[in-house]
């Protein structure tokens, strides 16, 4: 029961944060998405995709690890907002599919990451926390660029 709840909550958080990032990308023009020499909104999205593909896709899902971390922050990694959205949605969709089919018993399995041995549960926890952290940066950058309240949370009456 606890394992299923952890997996469900992890899927929900990744999906929710992806929706927030999509909304942010929809409010920014292409120049705003890639503004700055590094750590632009676009670079942060590329970084999240690389992290999710490596930690969930490769480490848990057994997919090839094709991550090129330096490219995530390269100034010439610019692509259209549509391509960025497609990459984000495809990456998160793949990760969600892996988590939806993950037997809860695997949460206590040891796996090898680039940082050493971890439990599968730790890997998922790292990815979701990392995703939320950078989604917050993207939300903040969008608010600064647009001067708008993004209205992700409803106010209590």
Confidence at residue 76, expressed as pLDDT on a 0 to 100 scale: 86
Residues composing the chain: 157
- 2-146 CATH, one of 1.10.3720.10, 1.20.120.450, 3.30.930.10, 1.10.10.10: 1.20.120.450
Residue 32: the pLDDT is 96
pLDDT value of residue 153: 83
Residue spans of the domains in the chain: they are 2-146
Residue 61 pLDDT: 97
Q: pLDDT digit of tens for each residue in the chain (157 aa)? A: 899 999 999 999 999 999 999 999 999 999 999 997 668 999 999 999 999 999 999 999 999 999 999 999 988 899 999 999 999 999 999 999 999 999 999 999 999 998 999 999 999 999 999 999 999 999 999 999 999 999 898 776 6
Per-residue pLDDT at 2: 95
């Amino acid at each position: 029961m606890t394992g299923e709840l952890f997996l469900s909550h992890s899927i929900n958080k990744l999906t929710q944060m992806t929706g927030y990032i999509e909304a942010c990308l929809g409010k920014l023009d292409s120049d705003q998405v890639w503004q700055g020499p590094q750590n632009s909104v676009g670079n942060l999205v590329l970084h999240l995709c690389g992290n999710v593909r490596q930690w969930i896709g490769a480490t848990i899902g057994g997919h090839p690890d094709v991550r090129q971390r330096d490219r995530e922050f390269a100034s010439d990694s610019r692509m259209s907002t549509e391509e960025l959205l497609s990459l984000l949605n495809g990456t998160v969709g793949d990760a969600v599919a892996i988590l939806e089919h993950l037997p809860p018993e695997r949460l206590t399995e040891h796996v090898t990451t680039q940082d050493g041995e971890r439990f599968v549960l730790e890997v998922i926890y790292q990815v979701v926390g990392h995703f939320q952290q950078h989604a917050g940066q993207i939300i903040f950058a969008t608010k600064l660029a647009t001067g708008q309240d993004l209205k992700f949370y409803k106010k209590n009456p």
